Amino acid sequence: MSPSTVFLARLIGLFTVLVVICLLVRGTAIIDTTVSNAPVMLIYAVVSLALGIAMVLRHNIWSGGALPVIVTVVGWLILAKGLVLLLLKPEALAGLIEGIHLGENHTVYLAPALVIGLYLTWAGFHADVPDRR
């Protein structure tokens, strides 16, 4: 297993699990506050775009098992999220979030992220990392 795959699986997995737990504890307060603040959303979009591009350039592996492919897919999803957030007007984003009833269903939308985060964390810490000597 590539050291990059293992590192990214651990990083993304732990980050995702911790963010999902915080969002579950705080409810939709963080999401509502963030979405209603255009400058924060712009920074979030730019950072997501940069991280997505970095991941796609560094880790675009479509074979070798589930872990490298999932890490690659997550990188592409982060890149797509950054683009969508940059392209959408704030009103359109607010309408989208209202349309999917995020406030009432936030636990449903967080469940897939939690499952992916738990898998990446588990697989990342159980993967065989080649010795760098």
pLDDT in tens, 68-123: 999 999 999 999 999 999 998 888 887 888 888 877 788 899 999 999 999 999 99
Residue 11 lies inside a defined structural domain of this protein: yes
Residue 29 lies inside a defined structural domain of this protein: yes
Residue 79's domain comprises 3-125
Q: What is the mean pLDDT of residues 26-43?
A: 83
Residue 82 lies inside a defined structural domain of this protein: yes
Cα separation of 111 and 133, whole Å? 40
Q: Under a CB-based contact definition with an 8 Å cutoff, are residues 111 and 6 in contact?
A: no
**Domains of the chain: total:** 1
Check pLDDT > 70 for residue 133. Answer: no
Query: 44-58 pLDDT, tens per residue?
Result: 999 999 999 999 999
How many other CB atoms are found less than 10 A from the CB of residue 36? 13
Check pLDDT > 70 for residue 21. Answer: yes
Residue 74 lies inside a defined structural domain of this protein: yes
Residue 132 banded pLDDT, cuts 50, 70, 90: low
Residue 132 lies inside a defined structural domain of this protein: no
How many other CB atoms are found less than 10 A from the CB of residue 89? 9
Q: What is the mean pLDDT of residues 34-43?
A: 86
Looking at residue 30, what is its pLDDT?
80
Between residues 19 and 92, the one the model is more confident about: 19
